[in-house]
Amino acid sequence: MSSKISTIMTQFQIPQFIEVENKIVGPLSLKQFLYLAVAGIICFIFYFVLQLWLWLIIAAIFGGIAVALAFIKYNGQPLVKIVWSAFNFFWKPKFYLWQRLPEEKVTAIEEKRKSLQDLFPVKKLWHDLMTTKSPLSKREKGLRGRVQAFRKLSGEREVTKRVDYR
C-alpha cells in the first residue's frame, strides 16, 4: 500500500519558482529584452533622422524608460503592471453604488458593537472622565486641598490651590 502511494506521489513534478521568469537572453527575461530592444531600435532610427544633440536627449529618455520598465519592481510588482493599473484607474469611468443594509444586519452590527463596548469600557471611562464634574471613584473623593500663596520669578504674588495626592 505504501509503495503505491509513494509511486503516485513521485509521478508529477511540482513547479517551485513560478514567480521567477525564465532567463532567455543572457541574464534577461524575454520581456526585459523586448523593452530594451524596442528602445534600442527607436533610438537607432532617430539617430539617422535627428541632429546629434536632440538624438542624445531622446535616446536618454527612451533608454531610461526602457531600463525602468525592464528592471524596476515596486512591492513585488513590475513597473509595467503598476503603470497599466494607474492608466486604467484614471481612464476608466468609476461607478460607486451605495446600498443600505437590511435592518436585521444593522441591528446585529449595533448589538455586536454594544457587546464590544461592554468588554472594553475604556472609551466610556475616558468619556466620563472628560465630561463629568463629579469624581469617578472613591479615591478621588478624598483628595485634600489647601490654598497656598507663592511668588513668581517676576515678583508677582499668586494664590492657588495645592492638592496632596498622598
pLDDT digits (tens, 9 = 90+) for 39-68: 999 999 999 999 999 999 999 999 999 999
Query: What range defines the domain where residue 68 resides?
Result: 19-91
Please report which confidence band the pLDDT of residue 9 belongs to, taking 50, 70 and 90 as the band edges. Answer: low
SS3 state at 154: coil
Q: Is 84 within the bounds of a domain?
A: yes
Give the chain's domain count: 2
Q: What is the pTM of this model?
A: 0.47
How much is the average pLDDT of 127-146? 61
Q: Is 114 within the bounds of a domain?
A: yes
Residue 126 has pLDDT above 90, yes or no: no
Q: Is 12 within the bounds of a domain?
A: no
How would DSSP label each residue in 31-87?
HHHHHHHHHHHHHHHHHHHS-HHHHHHHHHHHHHHHHHHHH-EETTEEHHHHHHHHH
Residues 75 and 43 in one domain: yes
Residue 158 has pLDDT above 80, yes or no: no
Domain termination site, one of 61, 91, 121: 91
Please report which confidence band the pLDDT of residue 4 belongs to, taking 50, 70 and 90 as the band edges. Answer: low
SS3 state at 146: strand
